[in-house]
Amino acid sequence: MNILTLWFHKLGSPPTFYRLAGLLLPWCYGIGLLLGLVALYSGLVLAPRDYQQGDAYRIIFVHVPAAWMSLFAYAFMAANAFIALVWHIKLSEILAMASAPVGAAFTFIALVTGALWGKPMWGTWWTWDARLTSELVLLFLYLGVIGLNAAIEDRRQAARAAGFLALIGVVNLPIVHFSVTWWNTLHQGSTIRLMGPSKIDAAMAWPLLLMALATHIWFFGSVLMRARIALLQLEGGKDWVRKVALDEGAAGG
């Protein structure tokens, strides 16, 4: 066993992961919250008004990062589901299922904030636009994974079944991303590009990117917290869990 394989094997050990996640949790939440507050203040207060949309455009500082996170979280969930199904790694099963509710929350926020923006811009809360419809399908996929995972009593079988559904739903990710390119939609195209010039002023772009970083860090914090709880439930009765309970009880007392 080489050093890299040994490192991954040790990291995948439930006791090691539980301790490491506990160390990272406050940092993820603290940094994510701090960056998020700075990004919100910069976007909602300091960024200039849009010459066409006025102040109504400011909802993008919540909507766009949430929409990006809805795709990222699903990709993270599907990647862990694939690892779990192929190599039967328990920790990947837990991470995949822990990320589903967090991703669903970001998707819901993206849909709600999109509706709030659409009313003044399009004159309607909802339209069966390609981007909106595929994002709604993404939310249903998240809910399907969550529901299937909860419907099966055996936790590992439930994670595998839900993970298989997550992999099937991956086909929707490029549809969501490229919908504004493939179809003539009401939804505006991408304004920030990794390749080529962006179509947004720098004073608006940096708070948006900072908010995206904050949501990613917060996402990992939320997943780690849920994964720790799931790990304790799955490993209940083992020596290391009893030791954790005794240590935390002593610290609390």
What's the pLDDT score for residue 208?
95
Alpha helices per DSSP H over the chain: 3-11, 14-41, 60-87, 90-122, 130-151, 155-168, 172-182, 202-234, 239-252
pLDDT tens by residue, 29-72: 999 999 999 999 999 999 999 888 888 889 999 999 999 999 99
Predicted confidence at residue 4, as pLDDT, reads 45
Is the predicted pLDDT of residue 17 greater than 50, yes or no?
Answer: yes
Mean pLDDT for 102-113 is 98
The rounded mean pLDDT for the chain is 89
Q: For residue 154, what pLDDT is reported?
A: 95
- pLDDT at residue 43, as a whole number: 96
Cα dihedral sign, 139-82-225-173 = negative
What is the reported pLDDT for 31? 98
**pLDDT of the residue at 189:** 61
pLDDT at residue 52 in the model: 80
Condensed to tens digits (0 to 9), the pLDDT of residues 208-235 reads 999 999 999 999 999 999 999 999 999 8
Per domain, the residue ranges of the chain are 63-229
Strand-pairing partners, residue 54, are 50
**Joined tokens for residue 45:** 């207060």
Count the Cβ atoms, other than its own, within 10 Å of residue 40.
17
Percentage with pLDDT > 70 across the chain: 87
More confident residue, 14 or 189: 14
The answer on pLDDT for 2 being more than 80 is no
pLDDT value for 196: 54
Q: Distance of CA 49 to CAs 45, 46, 144, 204, 209, Å?
A: 9, 9, 40, 9, 18
